[in-house]
Copies of this chain bind each other. A is one copy, B any other.
Amino acid sequence: MTLSMKEAHQIKVAPDVEGLLPAIRERWSPRSFTERAVSTAQLAALFEAARWAPSSSNEQPWRYILGLNGSATHEKIAETLVGFNRHWALKAPLLVLGTARTLGGKRNAPNAYAMYDLGAATALLVVEAQALGLATHQMGGFDHDAVRKALEIPEEYAIGSVIALGYQAEPAELPNETLIARETEPRSRKPLNEIVYSAWDVPAELG
């Protein structure tokens, strides 16, 4: 029997560590979306969150291309997705492509933090989405060259992720058993002592 959205949530939510922000704790990346549209006010809040992200020398390299379901942009992004992602992501009311300007400063020099800063801004966007009751799922599984060509993205902009965004639907609405199983299985993360060191390879003591 397939678990409900609420039951899946209980499995997916991160541990209740004291002080952990609910929007960070409760965010995960579902694949089952309803067709319900996201409002313009919600979109404004989402990109406002991204806009205020920190960036190296305040370059703000992030540029997002917003594909509303039914638009040519949504269709162009959707066409570049790998098969596995196409099975679920086409239904999402929004497909957003994140890109980052790789040159910056007065001398138009390479910006080594372009992708780092795009990742940061997009992280704020997905946390903000969670706070608004929306779900997001970022994908790297798409044809990067094809999306660049289809959307006419200049070479100096690096391609980031495609973000599927909208209201979450029941796991049972996904089109196949593999996707339903993923939607309800536990998440995994490395323990803290594998990601925080007090010196290289020496785990920090975080209790």
Chain A residues at the B interface, C-beta cutoff of 8 Å: 14-15, 17-21, 23-25, 27, 29, 40-45, 47-54, 56-58, 60, 62-66, 68, 71-73, 112-113, 115-124, 126-128, 131-132, 138, 140, 151-154, 160-161, 187-190, 192, 195-200, 204-207
Contact = CB atoms under 8 A, between A and B. Distances in A.
A45 to B, nearest CB: 4
A161 to B, nearest CB: 7
Contacts of A195: 47, 50-51, 60, 62-64
Nearest to A49: B24
For the complex formed by this chain, how many copies does it contain in all? 2
Contact of A44 (B27, B126, B206): B206
Contact of A117 (B18, B119, B124): B119
A192 B120 CA distance: 17
A24 to B, nearest CB: 5
Contacts of A40: 205-207
A48 B17 contact: yes
27 contacts: A14-B52, A15-B48, A18-B41, A19-B41, A19-B131, A20-B48, A24-B128, A25-B52, A27-B54, A41-B207, A43-B204, A44-B192, A47-B196, A47-B206, A54-B138, A65-B200, A73-B199, A112-B140, A113-B115, A113-B119, A115-B115, A116-B116, A116-B118, A123-B123, A123-B124, A152-B199, A153-B200
B29 A54 contact: yes
B119 A197 contact: no
A55 to B, nearest CB: 9
A140 B57 contact: yes
B14 A48 contact: yes
A195 B124 CA distance: 15
